[in-house]
Amino acid sequence: MAADVDPKGVRPAYSLPAVTVDVVVFMVRGRALQVLLIKRRSPPFQGYWAIPGGFVEIDESLDEAAHRELAEETGITGAYLEQLYTFGDPGRDPRMRVISVAYLGVIPSDRANVVAGDDASEAGWFSVQNLPPLAFDHSRIMECAIQHLRRKIRYTDTGLRLLPELFTLSELQAVYETVLGEEFDKRNFRRRIFQSNIVEEAGGFRTGEGRPAKLYRCRAGIQNEVRVTRLFP
């Protein structure tokens, strides 16, 4: 339910938890799934790497807070963000009770240039295969995010949001293979993508080594749920 004011008066401040957002943003570069971290420049966990995030302001929504903190601390704007899970165990921050609403985000590699902000001495991308020790309970949040991304890319169009507006089918396949850590048959992959009807030809070609590849884009009006086959379809 929404709050009832304490009948004896306004709830005292010391009994109120702080609320933060934490934003786990992924990118695929080359053949690596990478995640955005910042280096903490104040205690506790000074010098540790951490998931970007911070306090929710009193007059902004949670989504707004997630976008704002991400932009402030890393310079990243326009990422696709969605709420992941809320972590609120007492003791997860040694200083005070902090309840953190975690967000999962993805961004195309061509918009992944970071600029460290005020609260962070540094911001950078790390391969999920090779993460540094993280501050607070951020390893747990990270595991949760990776698991969720892998699940989500299997049955929604999240894979497309990891690519620039125009992309080739080989690039798309590489994204899926990188995130999921398995390889797919080229012909079956293409058949599935076409059947699911999430892309359309953009008209151009990408040249380079070998035969030029057709460019595709995300079909307009694609919602999130591409397809799920279930216990009871």
Partner DNA sequence: ACAAAAGTGTTGAGAGTACACCCATGC
Partner DNA sequence: GCATGGGTGTACTCTCAACACTTTTGT
Catalytic residues: 122
User: In the block, which residue shows the tokens 């934003």?
Assistant: 23
**x/- map, 176-215, DNA, by CB under 7 A:** ---------xxxx-xxx--x-----------xxxxxxxx-
Terminal CA-to-CA distance of the chain, rounded, Å?
34
Q: How far is the CB of 112 from DNA (least distance, A)?
A: 22
3-state secondary structure of 116: coil
Q: Which is nearer to DNA, 118 or 201 (CB)?
A: 201
Check residue 225 for interaction with DNA (CB under 7 A): no
Distance (Å, whole) CA 67 – CA 198: 26
For the beta carbon of residue 85, count every other beta carbon within 10 angstroms.
16
Q: How far is the CB of 22 from a second copy (least distance, A)?
A: 5
Chosen from a second copy, DNA, none, partner binding at 169 (C-beta under 5 to 8 Å by type): DNA
CB 151 within 8 Å of CB 60: no
Residue of the chain from 29, 140, 154, 161 that contacts a second copy (CB under 8 A):
154
Chosen from a second copy, DNA, none, partner binding at 109 (C-beta under 5 to 8 Å by type): none
Q: How far is the CB of 188 from DNA (least distance, A)?
A: 4
Residue of the chain from 9, 12, 30, 133 that contacts a second copy (CB under 8 A):
12
Distance (Å, whole) CA 30 – CA 18: 39
Q: Report CA 226 to chain centroid distance, whole Å.
A: 19
**x/- map, 151-180, DNA, by CB under 7 A:** -----------------xxx----------
Residue closest to 108 by CA, chosen among 166, 40, 48, 47: 166
Distance (Å, whole) CA 33 – CA 25: 10
- Applying CB under 7 A, the residues found at the interface with DNA are 168-170, 185-188, 190-192, 195, 207-214, 229, 233
